[in-house]
Structure 1
C-alpha cells in the first residue's frame, strides 16, 4: 500500500518540540478522538519502539520530543483556537491526553497565526498579537503574546531560555486560573484539601508531599527526604533503574491520593500525569551545559520527572505548578524557597534557571490563583508533510 501525506509543521516550543497539525488537515478518520487518531499519531512519531529510539518517525526518543499538537478554530466563546496536546509514549502503543504541555503552549499562537487560523483583524502588522487559546485537555485558558514583524510571526530575537541552545523571540504566556481540574481529580487546586500530606509508599518510605493541580497535577517532595540534594543532573537519576522505579511507585501512590486514578495499576495508562518533582533550598551547582548556577540567583532548586525520566530542564506546566505552590505559604515548595508570601519565584533546574510568577489569594480559607505568567520562545523547524503508511488508518 502507498503512504499518505498529511500537512504538518515541526516546531520547537520552550524546551520541547513536536509535530503540529491543523485539525482540518488530518485524514477524516483521525479528526475525531479515538483509536484511529492515536494510531496515526503513534506512527507519525515512531512509536511503539522497543529500541526506544523512534528511528522510523519524527520523535526524538525523549518525553520532550515525543509530542503532538492538534489546533483548530475555537469552539469556546472568547477564544481564537482550541489546542489539544497528545503525549506519545516511546515504547508502548499509548497516547496520553490527560494533561497539557506548557512548553509547546508557546508555539500554539505562532502556529495559529502562520496557518491562518486567526481572524486577520486580530493580528497586527507589527507589535504583539494576543492569541486566546483554549487548552482542550484540561479546559483552561492560555493567553499567548506573540511578537509580529512585517506581517509575520517574529521568531528570531535575543531572548535566552536555559535548556535551548540558541536565542529567539520572547513569547509571554498567561495561564488563567491554572488550578487544573484534571480528569478524575478529586477536587480543585489541592485535591486532598491539604497543603501538605504524608505519603506512605511501600518499599520507598514515608514523607511529606504537596499534591497540587495547577498547570498540571504535580507531587512535590523535599529532596532530602528521598536522599537527594536537589542539584542532581539527568544521569544521576536516569542512570539509576532503582531510583526510576521508586519514583514511579511514588507517582502511582500520589495519583491515587489525588483521585486521578482508582487503582494503583491504572497509573500505567496515565503516564503524562501526575508529575513528580523534588525541591531543595538554593545551592550552587553546575548546569548540564557547564554553566554555573549561583545560590544567590535562585530561590530554590527543583528537579522533575516526565514520562518516567528526569527532565533535562523543566516542563512548562510543572513550572506553573512550581510558581503556584511557591506563592502559597505552607507548601513544600514555598518552604524550600524560604517561606512567606511571594508573587514570583526563580528556581534552578538541570539546564539553568527559570522565573515564573503567580497571583495567589486566600478567599474564605481557600487558596485561589488567578493566573501564572512565564516567558518561553518558539520557532518553526520544518514545515510540509509527514507521511505514514496507508494501512495505519485501515
Structure 2
C-alpha cells in the first residue's frame, strides 16, 4: 500500500512538541485515533516511536487539530490528543497547555483568523476537550507571529517571543466545579487498606496533589529517578485512579486506568534546594513550592501547563495540601513552581472565591511544515479511544 500524505506542521509549544493539523485536512473523527497513532509511531514496545514523529516521551507524543470555531465567543476550535507511546490509547479527555501556545500563531499563519500585520493580536481559542476559552496574546511582524525574543523558558534552550495564555473561567472543565471530590482534602482508599490525603481540583485540567512525604518520596528528584522507581510509580498510578473515581471522571478503577491524560497527578512539597535537569542549582528562596508531576504514565521533564494552572488554582483552596506547602508570603497570583527544568511562574486571578482566569507565558516555534507520511494500512483499523 502506498503512503498517505496529510498536510501538517510540526510545532514546539512551550516544553512540548506536536504534529498540528488543519481540521479540513483530516478524515472523519472516527478515523482520527488510528491515524494519529500511525503519525506518531505508536504503539512502540521499545518506547522510542522510531517509525513516526513521536519522541518516546509523553510531552513529544501529541497531536493538535485546529479549525473554524463552533462558538461565537471564540475564533478557532482546538482539539488535543495525547497518544500513548507504548500502548494503543489515544486520549481526548484533556487539553495540553503547552501546545495551546502554538494554536494562535498557527491559526493566523494558516489564514483561519485575521490579524494585524504588525503589533499585538489576541486569538480566542475554544478548547473542545475542556469546553473552555483561552485568550492567546502574541506579537505579529510582517504578517507572521514573532518567534525571536528575550523570554527564557525553563526546559527550552535559548530564548523566544512570549505568548501570554489566559485561561478564562478555568474551573470545572468536567462540569463538577473546582473541587469535584467535594472537599479541600479527601482521603483516598488504597489497595493495602490504607489511605492517602489528597487535594483534587479541576481547573484548566483535572489534577490531584499529594504530599511527596506521604509517599516517602523526594519531591526534588529528577524525572528519570522517579520513572526508575517502579514502586513509587505504581503507587502514584493507584492514587491517580482512586482520584479519578472520587472526581467522577471514571466509574471504576479499571476504567480510570484507560484514561491516561486526566487527572494529572503531582507530588508537592515545601520549597527546598534542588538541581535541575540542566544541572543548575535552585535555592529554596527561589521558588514557592516544589512539584513533580506525572503525565501519561511518565514523570514530566518540566510540568504540563494545564497542570501548573491547576496547581495555582489549588493554591487558592484554604486548607488544601497545595496551600499548606506554600512558602510564607507566596502569592497565588504569581506563584513560582520548582520543577525539574527550573522555576515556572503561573497565576490565578480570583474574585469572591471564584477563579476568573489562570495565566502563564510560553514561547512557541514552527519547526517544520509540509506533509506527514503514514502507512495507510496502519491508519484505518478499528480505533481504540478514551473519550
Q: TM-score, normalised by structure 2?
A: 0.95
Question: 324, 339, 342: which one pairs with 1:352?
Answer: 342
**CA distance in structure 1 between the partners assigned to 2:275 and 2:100 by the alignment:** 28
**What SS does structure 1 have at the residue aligned with 2:29?**
coil
Are 1:161 and 2:153 matched, yes or no? yes
Query: Is this contact kept in 1: 2:91–2:259, CA < 8 A?
Result: yes
Question: 329, 352, 358: which one pairs with 2:318?
Answer: 329
**CA distance in structure 1 between the partners assigned to 2:11 and 2:361 by the alignment:** 17
**What SS does structure 2 have at the residue aligned with 1:100?**
coil
Change in CA separation of 1:342 and 1:244 when aligned onto 2, cut-off 3 Å: closer
Are 1:382 and 2:368 matched, yes or no? yes
**CA distance in structure 2 between the partners assigned to 1:338 and 1:4 by the alignment:** 53
Query: Is this contact kept in 2: 1:127–1:148, CA < 8 A?
Result: yes
Question: 69, 73, 81: which one pairs with 1:78?
Answer: 73
Cα shift at 1:368: 1.7
Are 1:13 and 2:13 matched, yes or no? yes
**What SS does structure 1 have at the residue aligned with 2:159?**
coil
**CA distance in structure 1 between the partners assigned to 2:226 and 2:74 by the alignment:** 41
Task: Identify the range of structure 1 (57-66 vs 289-298) with the bigger mean alpha-carbon deviation.
Answer: 289-298
**CA distance in structure 2 between the partners assigned to 1:69 and 1:235 by the alignment:** 27
Change in CA separation of 1:254 and 1:339 when aligned onto 2, cut-off 3 Å: farther
Query: Is this contact kept in 2: 1:83–1:136, CA < 8 A?
Result: yes
Query: Is this contact kept in 1: 2:120–2:137, CA < 8 A?
Result: yes
Query: Is this contact kept in 1: 2:8–2:370, CA < 8 A?
Result: yes
Are 1:111 and 2:106 matched, yes or no? yes
Corresponding residue number in structure 2 for 1:181 = 173
Q: For residues 358-369 of structure 1, what are the structure 2 equivalents within 5 Å?
A: 358-362=348-352, 367-369=353-355
**CA distance in structure 2 between the partners assigned to 1:249 and 1:103 by the alignment:** 26
**CA distance in structure 2 between the partners assigned to 1:277 and 1:204 by the alignment:** 22
Query: Is this contact kept in 2: 1:204–1:246, CA < 8 A?
Result: no
Cα shift at 1:246: 1.1
Query: Is this contact kept in 2: 1:327–1:359, CA < 8 A?
Result: no
Corresponding residue number in structure 1 for 2:96 = 101
Q: For residues 56-95 of structure 1, what are the structure 2 equivalents within 5 Å?
A: 56-95=51-90
**CA distance in structure 2 between the partners assigned to 1:49 and 1:300 by the alignment:** 35
Change in CA separation of 1:329 and 1:93 when aligned onto 2, cut-off 3 Å: same
Query: Is this contact kept in 1: 2:212–2:268, CA < 8 A?
Result: yes
Corresponding residue number in structure 2 for 1:224 = 213
Are 1:318 and 2:310 matched, yes or no? no
Are 1:127 and 2:119 matched, yes or no? yes
Cα shift at 1:328: 2.8
What are structure 2's unaligned runs of at least 5 residues? 382-387
Question: 237, 244, 248: which one pairs with 1:255?
Answer: 244
Cα shift at 1:339: 6.6
Query: Is this contact kept in 1: 2:76–2:125, CA < 8 A?
Result: yes
**CA distance in structure 2 between the partners assigned to 1:48 and 1:378 by the alignment:** 27
Question: 371, 380, 384: which one pairs with 1:393?
Answer: 380
Question: 29, 41, 61: which one pairs with 1:33?
Answer: 29
Cα shift at 1:147: 1.2
Change in CA separation of 1:103 and 1:342 when aligned onto 2, cut-off 3 Å: closer
**What SS does structure 2 have at the residue aligned with 1:147?**
strand
**What SS does structure 1 have at the residue aligned with 2:9?**
strand
Task: Describe the superposition over 1:88-114 as per-residue Cα deviations: whole angstroms up to 9, x where unpaired.
Answer: 011112200000000000000011111
**CA distance in structure 1 between the partners assigned to 2:179 and 2:215 by the alignment:** 22
Task: Describe the superposition over 1:267-291 as per-residue Cα deviations: whole angstroms up to 9, x where unpaired.
Answer: 2210111111011111111111011
Size of the alignment, in residue pairs?
379
CA RMSD of aligned residues (A): 1.4
Corresponding residue number in structure 2 for 1:241 = 230
What are structure 1's unaligned runs of at least 5 residues? none
